[in-house]
Amino acid sequence: MAQTGTALSWRHQLHQLAETAFEEHRTAECVAEVLRSLGLNVTTGIGGTGVVGTLTRGTGERVIGLRADMDGLAIHERTGLSFASRHEGRMHACGHDGHMAMVLGAAAELIGDELDGTVHFVFQPAEEPGRGAEAMVEDGLFERFPMEAIFGLHNMPGLPAGMLATRSGPIMAGEDNFAITVTGRGGHASAPHHLVDPLVVGAHIIVALQSIVSRSVDPVDSAVLSCTDITTDGARNAVPSTVRITGDVRNFDPAVSQLVERRLREVAEQAAQAYGAVAEVSYTREFATTVNHPQATASAVRAAERAVGEDRCDAAAPPIMASEDFGVFARYVPANFTLIGNGANGEKGGVPLHSHDYEFDDGILPVGIRYYRSIVHDLLTPPRT
């Protein structure tokens, strides 16, 4: 493939430029420079730092989008790569540099192909906190760049390198965040009988929350509730006055999300009351469930089978509990999100996402490029006369 080497150099350059959400200024400049060098029309500053490159061929009215996320994470890189991040404390630990390189590589291939229609290459900021897709939509993405469908890829450690996996319907979970602040009466650790210990109350709440999924959610539905952090204002010899418990909830159904929120509030407030404390609950919905449209998925599966063969394509992959704000785009236009294997467990590419040791497998770049190119040809190839 003529552009594989170029895509590789773009990937390594973007890896060194790792920037976090809505701070992807140099990354956006680099992406825009490449798109302009390919002769595409380029629009910048969408939703903050978002970029769209547009390729139009022929007179066809069909329009599709290919999306890549741009942001890195606030992680200190420990890969030892020769092209490691130059930005201390920031790293592409989720492979977004590879995602951008695949879309850029596809654009470079497609400019020489016979097409009849328009492709928008969408580079989205701030995927990690789940804010970038909505920012682009609110900034008029689909009004300024109408499209009949949009497609995205995400690398997946644990899946054999280069394998493509997707499904119709929900593929990635929605994410809700919660914070529970328990207020008691702190004081000297030697006199607990004069106090209301919020740490003990918090411990009971954490244990009680584990019953919500097992005893309140229908067993045929899916949900995960995790308490992920606990902080206090106490000291070694002082019982705290407040305890703050934070965590998240993953689910595929808005009704399940609402049920979990209701039960979480009841459990926290009633447990605190039983011990003479007060619990205040904050509950927010951060990521939409990513739901693949049947027609867009059919196009994605055809493209995947052409790109890697039927034996390397799973068209009925199980959904996963991780979240992706590509789900916001899927609310507005038919969409498909596909996972591309980064390497099986135990292999170099199998290091989990968001690890300071994570490495994107450069060997899958040609697969992603072939896949995207195949989607465009599936939908925009001019009819034979």
Q: What is the pLDDT of residues 181-213, one digit of tens each?
A: 999 999 999 999 999 999 999 999 999 999 999
Q: Are residues 267 and 331 in the same domain?
A: no
Range of the domain at 220: 174-287
Residues 121-137 have pLDDT tens digits of 999 999 999 999 999 99
Res. 153: pLDDT tops 90: yes
Q: Are residues 58 and 203 in the same domain?
A: no
Q: Are residues 167 and 147 in the same domain?
A: yes
- Look at residue 385 and tell me if it is in a domain: no
- Look at residue 200 and tell me if it is in a domain: yes
Residue 314 · residue 164 · CB < 8 Å: yes
| Cα distances (angstroms) measured from residue 171 to each of 101, 279, 324, 339 | 23, 34, 10, 9
Q: Are residues 205 and 130 in the same domain?
A: no
Q: What is the mean pLDDT of the chain?
A: 96
Alpha-carbon distance 115 to 117, whole Å? 6
User: Which helix (H) or strand (E) is 120 found in, with range?
Assistant: strand 117-124
Q: Are residues 153 and 251 in the same domain?
A: no
Indicate the residue among 253, 287, 321 that finishes a domain: 287
Res. 378: pLDDT tops 90: yes
Q: Are residues 163 and 63 in the same domain?
A: yes
Alpha-carbon distance 103 to 312, whole Å? 21
- Look at residue 313 and tell me if it is in a domain: yes
Q: Which residues contact 241 (CB under 8 A, 6 or more apart)?
A: 183, 184, 185, 186, 198, 233, 234
The pLDDT, as a whole number, for residue 137 is 98
Which has more pLDDT, 286 or 1? 286
DSSP character string of 164-215: EE--SEEEE-EEEEEEEEEE-B-EETT-GGGSB-HHHHHHHHHHHHHHHHHH
Alpha-carbon distance 355 to 357, whole Å? 5
Indicate the residue among 250, 266, 287 that finishes a domain: 287
Q: Are residues 94 and 229 in the same domain?
A: no
Residue 209 · residue 267 · CB < 8 Å: yes
Indicate the residue among 287, 314, 349 that finishes a domain: 287
Give residue 301's identity as a one-letter amino acid code: V
The pLDDT, as a whole number, for residue 1 is 37
- Look at residue 307 and tell me if it is in a domain: yes
The pLDDT, as a whole number, for residue 4 is 58
Res. 385: pLDDT tops 70: no
Res. 292: pLDDT tops 70: yes
The pLDDT, as a whole number, for residue 65 is 98
CATH number of residue 186's parent domain: 3.30.70.360
Res. 383: pLDDT tops 80: no
Alpha-carbon distance 323 to 170, whole Å? 11
Residues 171-180 have pLDDT tens digits of 999 999 999 9
CA pseudo-torsion sign 197, 199, 202, 203: negative
Q: Are residues 164 and 212 in the same domain?
A: no
The pLDDT, as a whole number, for residue 314 is 98
Residue 104 · residue 369 · CB < 8 Å: no
- Look at residue 368 and tell me if it is in a domain: yes
Residues 235-262 have pLDDT tens digits of 999 999 999 999 999 999 999 999 999 9
Q: Are residues 205 and 264 in the same domain?
A: yes
Q: Are residues 156 and 39 in the same domain?
A: yes
Alpha-carbon distance 24 to 72, whole Å? 9
Residue 38 · residue 123 · CB < 8 Å: no
Res. 219: pLDDT tops 90: yes
Q: Are residues 37 and 63 in the same domain?
A: yes
What is the arithmetic mean of pLDDT over 25-39? Answer: 97
Tokens linked to 241: 């006055």
Residues 295-308 have pLDDT tens digits of 999 999 999 999 99
Q: Are residues 218 and 340 in the same domain?
A: no
Res. 158: pLDDT tops 70: yes
The pLDDT, as a whole number, for residue 2 is 44
Residues 68-117 have pLDDT tens digits of 999 999 999 999 999 999 999 999 999 999 999 999 999 999 999 999 99
Q: Report the largest interatomic distance among the alpha carbons of the chain, rounded to a whole angstrom.
A: 90
Residues 343-377 have pLDDT tens digits of 999 888 999 999 999 999 999 999 999 999 999 99
Domain count, the chain: 2
CATH number of residue 81's parent domain: 3.40.630.10
Res. 24: pLDDT tops 90: yes
